[in-house]
Amino acid sequence: MTTIKRETKETKIAVSLEIYGEGKNSIATDIGFFDHMLEAFGKHANFNLKLECEGDRHIDFHHSVEDSAIVLGKALYEEIYPIKNIERFGEASVVMDEACVTTTLDLSNRPYLHFEAKLKDKIGEFDTELIEEFFRALCFNAGISAHIVAQRGKNSHHIAEALFKSFAVALRRALVKNEHCGVPSTKGVL
């Protein structure tokens, strides 16, 4: 279990993370839609995740979402690296009714994000452009190279939820233990 706290003038965040868990989550950001997405993420990754965020939501949700991803990414980094005896690569396509999202990722310790999704500007009060910001901050702080592509969909809620779930399932698959592979790189280190 890794616990990381971060406090700035804009946010105060605490994350506790266990990557080989049972999908037990306690999420409290006071941003309803974001809480829903983080709960889906933790559940489908099989993580035990506790995330608490106090942020300057009176301005907007940007700092809370991005800073939550930074702290979650740092916790993931602590849990994952140094990599040994795991699959390393993961892929998942998740369907939510008419929406389908595919995530392909590499626990490479070389952060990168390719993100494609057409979403309406808002889901309730939530600015959907923050979803890409979340994944960028998460990947760059966790050392993950990810391609997240919404293949199709019309309902922004369905697309957004499939984005979080497909990333979670791909990450869970990349973290599958494989005692025979040692460091999964021809370089011998990641």
pLDDT (tens place) for every residue of the chain, 190 residues total:
999 999 999 999 999 999 999 999 999 999 999 999 999 999 999 999 999 999 999 999 999 999 999 999 999 999 999 999 999 999 999 999 999 999 999 999 999 999 999 999 999 999 999 999 999 999 999 999 999 999 999 999 999 999 999 999 999 999 999 988 887 777 777 7
pLDDT of residue 189: 73
Which CATH number among 3.40.50.970, 2.115.10.20, 3.30.230.40, 1.20.1540.10 corresponds to the domain 2-174? 3.30.230.40
What's phi and psi for 50, nearest 5 deg?
A: -125, 120
**Strand pairing category for 2-7 and 112-116:** unpaired
Please give the C-alpha separations between residue 180 and each of 84, 88, 177, 184, in angstroms, as whole numbers: 10, 13, 9, 10
pLDDT of residue 183: 79
Q: Is the pTM of this model over 0.85?
A: yes
For the chain, the structural domain boundaries read: 2-174
pLDDT of residue 180: 82
